[in-house]
Amino acid sequence: MSFMASGIRVSYGRKEVLHGVDFVAQPGEVTAIIGPNGSGKSTLMKALTAELRYTGQVTLEGDDIQDVPAPLLAGRRAVLPQSVSLTFPFTAREVVEIGLSAGISGDRSEVVLQALARVGLADHADSFYQELSGGQQQRVQCARVLAQVWQPVVNGVPRWLLLDEPVSSLDIAHQVAIMDIAAQYASEGGGVIAVMHDLNLTAHYANAACLIHQGRVVRRGKIADVLEPDLLSEIYHCTLRAVPNGGSAPLLSPVLS
């Protein structure tokens, strides 16, 4: 069982921005999509979620996602986009209920408050979304997608969290809290795919990674094989050195002049 993409090509107008990308993620793991700004990370995520038109094939546990009815697909994977704009005055509780109604946990109303509690916002359930800070809004959206696929495995079939820059607006404490949630979800048998900018959070939390540059996969595999300092220094145009941290992958530090 896996989330796979084969030969993915995406164009904006006449410009091709993904050039035959192959990708694979396994349940039970956090798989990071990394690369410099403009490399095609979010474009690949939008192809994996069928938000963009693409050529090639994306399969979820062997099923082409184009052939899975939207309600069934929503019960198998939840998507956190890079940004969400809401104009209607929803409360935080109501935003999370949107996710709950989309998934197959819809008869479990207690999940809403549990999901908000997981992201540290149980006491903001009745606050209007627009009155929350940007970081709080992002955490509400994390609770929404978590509620949608609350159980990591249903009837032996893993469910998936697809997260596009899930910690971009968060302080360090909440970055760690959200990544802890992702790691726990994977440890319980679900799958997590996350577009990440922070290479050290990636090193700590991801089991595997796909490094993209200029719309092509440079390397993919286990995290220690992808987060190789010489390779990353070349791709990011920034000299990086490895700092041992006792884990499977070293921390990465820029060499400053």
Taking the C-alpha atoms of residue 166 and residue 144, their distance in angstroms, rounded to an integer, is: 12
Taking the C-alpha atoms of residue 213 and residue 38, their distance in angstroms, rounded to an integer, is: 8
Whole-structure pTM value = 0.93
Contact 223/197 with Cβ under 8 angstroms?
Answer: no
What pLDDT is recorded for position 250? 73
Exposed, middle or buried, 26 (CB in 10 Å: 0-12/13-18/19+)? middle
Q: Which of the 8 DSSP states describes residue 187?
A: H
Comparing 89 with 183, the larger pLDDT belongs to: 183
pLDDT classification of 186: cutoffs 50, 70, 90: very high
What pLDDT is recorded for position 37? 94
138-171 per-position pLDDT tens digit: 999 999 999 999 999 999 999 999 999 999 889 9
Q: Is the pLDDT of residue 50 over 60?
A: yes
Q: Which of the 8 DSSP states describes residue 91?
A: B
Contact 59/65 with Cβ under 8 angstroms?
Answer: yes
What pLDDT is recorded for position 17? 96
- Of 252, 170, 166, the residue nearest 203 (C-alpha): 252
199-257 per-position pLDDT tens digit: 999 999 999 999 999 999 999 999 989 999 999 999 999 999 988 777 666 788 888 87
- Give the homologous superfamily in CATH for domain 3-254: P-loop containing nucleotide triphosphate hydrolases (3.40.50.300)
Instruction: Give me the mean pLDDT over the 76-88 stretch.
Output: 84
Q: 36-66 in b/e burial notation, b at 16+ Cβ within 10 A?
A: beebbbbbbbbbbbeebebebebbbeeeebe
What pLDDT is recorded for position 220? 96
Q: Is the pLDDT of residue 104 over 70?
A: no
H helices within the chain, ranges in order? 41-48, 70-74, 92-102, 110-118, 134-148, 172-187, 199-205, 223-226, 229-236
- Of 62, 61, 65, the residue nearest 79 (C-alpha): 65
The domain spans of the chain are 3-254
Mean of the per-residue pLDDT values of the chain: 91
Q: Is the pLDDT of residue 106 over 60?
A: no
Taking the C-alpha atoms of residue 238 and residue 36, their distance in angstroms, rounded to an integer, is: 11
Cβ within 8 Å of residue 110, ≥6 positions away: none
Q: Is the pLDDT of residue 107 over 70?
A: no
